[in-house]
């Protein structure tokens, strides 16, 4: 027997060893390296930085967390960020669903392929360029102004509205695709049966389609939520003077040289996402990613 | 599927409107890459091909492109190996902690990029004491690319079942031979699709890259960020973006064909 | 729930390991030693004592406009002549605020940095820069005397850098929109302003000093003597003024090009800017003008410093010498719109009255600009009966102001 065969025979008898070997590299990478890095970051949240030199002083203190909780501005920013994330998610879900439904159920297979490409390609256009494109569109003398002026309206300019619009735009494909996949898996016969039993389209949608595709919608929402929660670039481009959680973390890392406080603020989106993930696990969304 | 006329038309209208909204800013970018005015006022006053001509000689853009390609390929390679290993482990075996592990694999992509970025930055610089460079960026990219490959391979493994492999081994092939001749060919297209998506994810990534790439180095997104507001460079940025849009239709189409009928795409 | 205890235990172990693994930085702000006049004791570092062979490479961390290499405008380039002369290939990285320069220096990889007064001492205190041997910089002799040995570029008589030049933060405005032309900072602070929503301000906690400067003249009973030395009451007043200003702001800027674009587009019509922003926007055809308001202004006095960990110190010193040489200094000063550091540069500017416009030789005028300085708890206006707000508090307040 060659070495290969004897090794293979040996491994065949030892499923746990096989498992261990398979898991070793990914676990080392993700478990040790990645989780370790997160843990190290979490640890620095309990230290503080000297405001003059920027050096991290390793005296254990919960002062950072105290500041985070007592200063009202951080609560405001957190609520604002979560509200924006929720808004973006809802807007995207509302826009994505009809589009995905048409693509999955009504379009012919050939059209379907073209449509999927049409929806996917913009994803690979640079995120920055898309955000910047919105900046020029929202400008005082940009396209939106030109379009809305005859109607007596005006561009919302830079600010929270612009941020919500731009973020909704950027993450829309991430919502369309899971819903599309989920709708594809939905058997047509169920929808037909519902119609046969006398339900009008709205009722069918509410009682049959929506509950069955809910996990897919939630899967899409994981991305829109998480991407919005940590984003700081779009706000800087179209957000005017608004701040989101990502900005506070970024400013503390870069401008304020205050890694401990940045880590403290960073725990907020992490905790929110972990809670969100835990909540959606039940809905089975994680299999729909 | 039977749906009323009105429902069809309403949905079609929604689809068309949605596509228009999705593509309009991109077409604007394409248009602006010909715009002679550097502030991109609307409507454009004059058109020019100058920016397109400049792109081929723009050293910064070309260097950044090369760095992005290197990082993408390396990260994808690592992710392919680790992702497949993890997929096999989680799909084919039952063990203690399986659910936690699948959550762990999703974590790098579910947590906000800035958290991953600063965590890795802190780990590299402060704890391990190594300087940032291309290697650190590759490590960071591979970390969140793993889940992309993982998902594709798990989906494929789920569809395949274990019968063919068992048959192969029953017929006398060793484990390695089975993998080489039976399993791998069946996985190939899933790996390719996953790899393409991982590459695309790494190529457009900006936030984690900002924190893990060496000083003075630029990937394409970082180059774009640095030149976004420079009056002489913004038009070139538009051209680069336009090229990216046009070129990326190819891998998107490929990924679609390879992954079969599911719309695996987007983030994962 | 059975699966979690193990996971948590592992996590806890990781946390402990990480905690032990991280180096502890020693407390810099005047730990146990007696602090100097600036409130800290600099680390014990030695300046280079002689030059070697140029290393062939140099990484410059500079304010935008200081190290132009032709990539912004092919006609504006004084880096290429330097590269040809010394063989040191230069890569330039620019930053938008002093805080950014500090964090970039911490990240490492840069050989020289142009530090403003609010960054220079912090760089010295953290050991990121080392003393400079001015004998190795021949052009230092021609630098205006009133820029040498200042509190922001020297500590206890030890020189830490070569002066670059100085300037003021001016009030920029769109000449075609803002009529009549503004003459006072009240244009940006006036709550009744008709330009609401189109005003801009600098995105850095140091901007609080601009508010304090305004209050110095308009609310003298607060008793502010130095906009960087603010006690509780004075600080609150400045912060309140900025909070009232916040709704009127269209965007805060730290990238001067973003501000330039906004001015050109008309999304911003009024606000603090650098002269280079105004010059640039004007050269692109926009009717932008600037004025130094009646209350005076904050400004900066910049110093070129050498990174302690630099591997290219000979090239670094060659750069220091080059950038304050008459021709290069004149080029920068004209492009950026500031007063040069080298006396001989005044003869080399294309606009012969440049030095007069910018009061380069006027030591008295120079002393009236409130240069960016890092606020510390020890009041720098000399008061010993109160504690002033340190920069950490300025930074926290800035997040609050932006809301």
- Looking at residue C203, its pLDDT comes to 93
Calculate how close chain A gets to B101, using CA atoms only, in Å: 8
Average pLDDT over residues B228-244: 83
Pairwise CB contact (< 8 Å): C3 & B96? yes
In this structure, what DSSP letter does residue B267 have? T
Tell me whether residues C29 and A50 touch, CB distance under 8 A.
Answer: yes
Interface contact flag, A140 C266, Cβ < 8 Å: yes
Using the beta-carbon criterion (under 8 Å), do B263 and A132 form an inter-chain contact? no
pLDDT for residue B46: 80
- pTM for this prediction: 0.87
C19, C40, C94, best to mutate vs chain A, most A CBs in 10 Å: C19
Distances (CA, A) of C354 to C345, C348, C358, C367: 10, 10, 6, 19
To the nearest whole number, what is the mean pLDDT of chain C?
87
Mutate to test the interface with A, among C15, C31, C116, C203 (most CBs of A within 10 A): C15
Q: Is the pLDDT of residue C58 over 90?
A: yes
Nearest chain A residue to C255 by CA: give it. A236
Confidence of residue C41 (pLDDT cuts 50, 70, 90): confident
CB-based contact B127 C21, cutoff 8 Å: yes
pLDDT band at B41 (very low <50, low <70, confident <90, very high): low
Whether residue B125 and residue C107 make contact (CB cut-off 8 A), yes or no, is: yes
Of B106, B251, B252, the CB nearest to A286: B106
- Statement: residue C21 has pLDDT above 60: no
CA distance A42 to A64: 12
In this predicted structure, which of B114-123, B137-146, B165-174 has the lowest mean pLDDT? B165-174
Q: What's the confidence (pLDDT) of residue C268?
A: 93
Least confident of A161-170, B12-21, B58-67, C82-91: B58-67
Give the three-state DSSP class for A11: helix
Nearest to C126 among A39, A55, A58 (CB): A55
B45 Cα to chain C: minimum distance (Å): 15
Q: Confidence class of residue C25 from pLDDT cuts 50, 70 and 90?
A: very low
Binary contact (A53, C125; C-beta < 8 A)? yes
Hey, of C7, C8, C14, which one would you mutate to test binding to chain A, going by the most A CBs within 10 A of its CB? C14
Contacts made by residues B122-125, CB under 8 angstroms, sequence distance 24+: B122/A37, B122/A40, B122/A41, B122/A44, B122/A259, B122/A263, B123/A33, B123/A36, B123/A37, B123/A40, B123/A41, B124/B212, B125/C107
Report whether pLDDT(C27) > 50. no
Instruction: Among A37, A127, A246, select the one facing B119 at the smallest CB separation.
Output: A37
Tell me the C-alpha distance between B137 and B120, whole Å.
9
Q: Do C59 and B216 touch (CB under 8 A)?
A: yes
Closest by Cα among A101, A137, A108, A103 to A120: A103
Q: Which of B131, B216, B233 sits opposite C91 (nearest CB)?
A: B216
pLDDT greater than 50 at residue C349: yes
Span C384-403, pLDDT tens digits: 899 999 888 999 899 999 98
Distance CA C340, CA C144 (A): 9
Name the minimum distance, in Å, from the CA of B248 to any CA of chain A.
Answer: 6
pLDDT in tens, C179-209: 899 999 999 999 988 998 899 999 999 999 9
Is residue A271 within 8 A of residue A289, CB to CB? The reply is no
Residue A118 to residue B19: CA distance in whole angstroms: 8
In this structure, what token pair is assigned to residue B234?
């913004």
Tokens matching residue B178? 């089975």
- pLDDT band at B268; cut points 50, 70, 90: low
pLDDT given for residue C14 in this prediction = 57
Percent of chain C with pLDDT over 70: 90
Q: What is the least distance, in Å, from the CA of B218 to any CA of chain C?
A: 12
Q: Do A127 and B221 touch (CB under 8 A)?
A: yes
Is the pLDDT assigned to residue C24 strictly greater than 70?
no
CA A145 to each of CA A129, A150, C136, C198: distance values in angstroms, whole numbers, following the listed order: 20, 9, 58, 16
Whether residues A125 and B245 touch (CB distance < 8 A) is answered with yes
Task: Mutate one of C2, C257, C258, C268 to test the B interface: name it (highest B CB count within 10 A).
Answer: C257
Handedness of CA B44, B46, B47, B49 (dihedral sign): negative
The secondary structure element, H or E, covering residue C173 is strand C170-174
C-alpha torsion sign, points A64, A65, A67, A68: positive
pLDDT at C8: 57
DSSP result, B187-202: HHHHHHHHHHHHHHHH
Closest chain A residue to C403, measured at CA? A73
Number of Cβ within a 10 Å radius of residue C182: 21
Residues ≥6 apart with Cβ < 8 Å to A5: B174
**Do the Cβ atoms of C3 and B99 come within 8 Å?**
yes
Q: Cβ–Cβ of C25/A58 closer than 8 Å?
A: yes
> Cβ of C108 and B99 within 8 Å?
no
Q: Which of the four pLDDT bands, split at 50, 70 and 90, describes residue C9?
A: low
pLDDT in tens, chain A (289 residues): 678 788 888 887 888 888 888 888 888 888 888 999 999 999 999 998 887 777 888 889 888 899 899 989 999 999 999 999 999 999 999 999 999 999 988 888 888 888 988 988 888 788 998 998 898 888 877 888 888 888 888 888 888 999 999 999 999 998 998 899 888 888 888 888 888 888 888 888 888 889 888 988 998 899 899 999 989 999 999 998 899 999 999 988 877 778 899 999 999 999 999 999 888 887 777 766 6
Rounded to a whole number of angstroms, the distance between the first and last alpha carbons of chain B is 29
Contact B264 A181 (CB under 8 A): yes
Residue of C nearest to B214 (CA): C109
- Chain B partners of A95 at a C-beta cutoff of 8 Å? 14, 18, 21
How confident is the model over C247-303, as pLDDT tens digits? Answer: 999 999 988 988 998 998 888 999 999 999 999 899 888 999 999 998 989 999 999
C-alpha span between A162 and A175 (Å, rounded): 20
Neighbouring subunits of A (3+ Cβ pairs under 8 A): B, C
Share in percent of chain C as helix, strand, coil (round to 5): 40, 15, 40
Mean pLDDT over C37-51 rounds to 81
Our measurement of the distance from residue C223's CA atom to the centroid of its chain's CA atoms, rounded to an integer in Å, reads 26
pLDDT of the residue at A199: 85
Predicted local distance difference test score (pLDDT) of residue C23: 42
> What subunits make at least 3 CB pairs under 8 angstroms with B?
A, C
Query: At A108, phi and psi to the nearest 5?
Result: -75, 160
So what's the ipTM on this one? Answer: 0.87
* SS3 state of residue C337: coil
Cβ contacts (< 8 Å) between C265 and chain A: which residues? 139-141
CA-nearest residue to C125 within chain A is A53
Cross-chain residue pair A119–B224, CB shorter than 8 Å: no
Which chain C residues contact residue A141 at CB under 8 A?
265-266
- By Cβ distance, the residue of A31, A140, A243 closest to C267 is A140
Cα distances (Å, whole numbers) of residue A5 to A10, B75, B175, B177, B183: 8, 32, 8, 9, 17
In chain C, the residue whose alpha carbon lies closest to the alpha carbon of B233 is C72
Give CA–CA dist C282/C266, Å, rounded.
Answer: 13
In this structure, the strands spanning A48-49 and C57-62 are: unpaired
- Phi first, then psi: give them for residue C176, nearest 5 degrees: -90, -10
* B224 vs A129: CA distance, rounded Å: 8
C14, C16, C18, C23 alpha-carbon torsion, rounded to 10°: -170
What interhelical angle do B184-204 and B220-227 show, nearest 10?
A: 20
φ/ψ of residue C310, rounded to 5: -65, 140
Cα separation, B3 vs A191, whole angstroms? 9
pLDDT digits (tens, 9 = 90+) for C214-238: 999 999 999 999 999 999 999 999 9
d(CA C189, CA C241): 7
Considering chain B, what percentage of its residues have pLDDT values greater than 90?
Answer: 31
- A interface residues, C as partner, C-beta within 8 Å: 31-32, 35-36, 39-40, 42-44, 50-58, 67, 71, 73-74, 76-77, 139-141, 157-158, 240-241, 243, 248, 251, 253-258
pLDDT at B234: 79
Sequence-ordered strand ranges (E) for C29-134: 57-62, 89-94, 112-115, 129-130
> Which residues in chain C have Cβ-Cβ distances shorter than 8 Å to A238?
none
Work out whether the CA dihedral B203, B205, B210, B211 comes out positive or negative.
Answer: negative
**Structure tokens of A157?**
């300019």
| Euclidean distance between CA atoms B265 and C119, whole angstroms | 47
């Amino acid at each position: 027997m060659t070495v290969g065969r004897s090794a293979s025979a040996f491994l065949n008898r030892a499923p746990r060893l096989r498992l261990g070997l398979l898991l070793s590299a990914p676990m080392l990478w993700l478990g040790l390296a990645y989780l370790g890095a997160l843990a190290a970051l979490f640890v620095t949240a309990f230290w503080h930085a000297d405001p003059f030199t920027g050096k991290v002083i390793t005296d254990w203190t919960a002062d950072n967390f105290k500041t985070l909780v007592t200063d009202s501005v951080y609560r405001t920013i957190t609520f604002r960020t979560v509200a924006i994330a929720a808004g973006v998610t809802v807007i995207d879900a509302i826009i994505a669903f009809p589009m995905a439904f048409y693509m999955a159920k009504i379009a012919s297979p050939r059209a379907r392929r073209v449509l999927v490409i049409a929806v996917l390609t913009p994803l690979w256009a640079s995120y920055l360029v898309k955000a910047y494109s919105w900046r020029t569109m929202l400008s005082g003398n940009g396209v939106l102004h030109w379009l809305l002026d005859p109607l007596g309206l005006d561009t919302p300019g830079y600010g929270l509205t612009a941020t919500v619009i731009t973020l909704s735009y950027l993450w829309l494909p991430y919502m369309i695709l899971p819903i599309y996949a989920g709708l594809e898996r939905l058997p047509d016969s169920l929808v037909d049966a519902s119609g046969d039993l006398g339900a009008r389209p709205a009722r069918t949608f509410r009682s049959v389609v929506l509950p069955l595709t809910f996990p897919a919608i939630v899967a899409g929402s994981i991305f829109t939520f998480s991407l919005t929660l940590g984003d700081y670039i779009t706000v800087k481009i179209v957000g005017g003077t608004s701040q989101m959680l990502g900005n506070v973390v970024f400013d503390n890392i870069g401008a304020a040289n205050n890694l401990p406080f940045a880590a403290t603020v960073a725990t907020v989106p992490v905790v929110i996402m972990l809670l969100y993930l835990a909540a959606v696990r039940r809905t089975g969304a994680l299999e729909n990613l | 599927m039977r749906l009323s006329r009105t429902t069809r038309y309403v949905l079609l209208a929604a689809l068309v409107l949605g596509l228009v909204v999705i593509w309009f800013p991109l077409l604007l970018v394409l248009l602006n890459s010909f715009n002679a005015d550097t502030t991109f006022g609307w409507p454009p006053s004059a058109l020019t091909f100058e920016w397109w001509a400049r792109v081929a000689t723009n050293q910064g853009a070309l260097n950044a492109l090369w760095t992005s390609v290197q990082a993408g390929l390396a990260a994808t390679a690592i992710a392919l190996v680790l992702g497949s290993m993890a997929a096999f482990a989680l799909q084919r075996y039952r063990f203690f902690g399986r659910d936690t592990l699948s959550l762990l694999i999703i974590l790098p992509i579910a947590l906000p990029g800035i958290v991953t970025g600063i965590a890795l930055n802190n780990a590299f610089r402060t704890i391990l004491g190594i300087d940032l460079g291309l290697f650190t960026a590759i490590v960071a990219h591979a970390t969140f690319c793993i889940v992309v490959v993982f998902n594709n391979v798990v989906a494929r493994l789920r569809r395949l079942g274990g019968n063919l492999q068992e048959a192969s081994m029953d017929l006398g092939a060793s484990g390695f031979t089975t993998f080489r001749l039976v399993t791998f060919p069946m996985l190939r297209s899933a790996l390719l699709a996953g790899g393409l998506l991982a590459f695309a994810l790494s190529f457009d990534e900006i936030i984690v890259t900002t924190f893990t790439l060496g000083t003075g180095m630029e990937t394409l997104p970082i180059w774009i960020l640095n030149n976004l507001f420079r009056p002489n460079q913004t038009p070139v940025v538009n051209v680069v973006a336009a090229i990216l849009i046009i070129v990326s239709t190819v891998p998107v189409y490929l990924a679609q064909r390879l992954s079969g009928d599911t719309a695996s795409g987007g983030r994962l | 729930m059975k699966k979690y205890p193990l996971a948590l235990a592992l996590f806890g172990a990781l946390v402990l390991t990480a905690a032990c693994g991280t180096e502890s930085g020693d407390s810099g702000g005047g730990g146990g030693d007696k602090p100097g006049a600036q409130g800290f004791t600099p680390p014990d570092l030695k300046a280079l004592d002689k030059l070697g062979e140029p290393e062939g490479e140099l990484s410059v961390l500079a304010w935008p406009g200081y190290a132009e290499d032709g990539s912004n405008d092919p006609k504006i380039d004084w880096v290429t002549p330097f590269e040809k002369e010394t063989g040191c290939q230069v890569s330039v990285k620019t930053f938008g605020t002093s805080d950014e320069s500090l964090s970039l220096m911490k990240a490492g990889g840069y050989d020289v940095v142009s530090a403003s007064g609010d960054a220079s001492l912090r760089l010295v205190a953290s050991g990121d820069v080392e003393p400079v041997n001015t004998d190795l910089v021949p052009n230092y002799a021609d630098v205006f005397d009133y820029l040498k040995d200042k509190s922001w570029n020297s500590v206890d008589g030890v020189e830490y850098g070569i002066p670059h030049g100085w300037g003021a933060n001016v009030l920029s405005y769109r000449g075609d929109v803002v009529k009549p032309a503004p003459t006072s900072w009240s244009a940006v602070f006036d709550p009744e302003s008709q330009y609401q929503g189109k005003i801009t301000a600098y995105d850095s906690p140091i901007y609080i000093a601009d508010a304090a400067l305004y209050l110095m003249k308009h609310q003298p009973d607060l008793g502010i003597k130095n906009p960087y030395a603010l006690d509780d009451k004075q600080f609150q007043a400045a912060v309140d003024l900025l909070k009232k200003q916040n709704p009127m702001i269209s965007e805060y800027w730290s990238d001067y090009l973003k501000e330039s674009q906004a001015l050109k587009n008309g999304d911003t019509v009024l606000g603090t800017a650098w002269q280079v922003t105004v010059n640039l926007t004007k050269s692109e055809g926009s009717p932008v003008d600037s004025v130094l308001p009646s209350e005076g202004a904050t400004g900066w006095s910049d110093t070129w410093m050498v990174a302690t960990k630099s591997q290219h110190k000979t090239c670094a010193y060659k750069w220091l010498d080059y950038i304050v040489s008459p021709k290069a200094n004149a080029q920068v000063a004209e492009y950026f719109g500031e007063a040069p550091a080298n006396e001989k540069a005044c003869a080399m500017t294309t606009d012969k009255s440049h030095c007069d416009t910018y009061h380069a030789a006027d030591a008295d005028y120079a002393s009236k600009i409130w240069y960016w300085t890092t606020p510390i708890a020890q009041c720098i206006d000399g008061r010993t009966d109160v504690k002033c707000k340190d920069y950490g508090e300025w930074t926290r307040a800035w997040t609050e102001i932006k809301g």
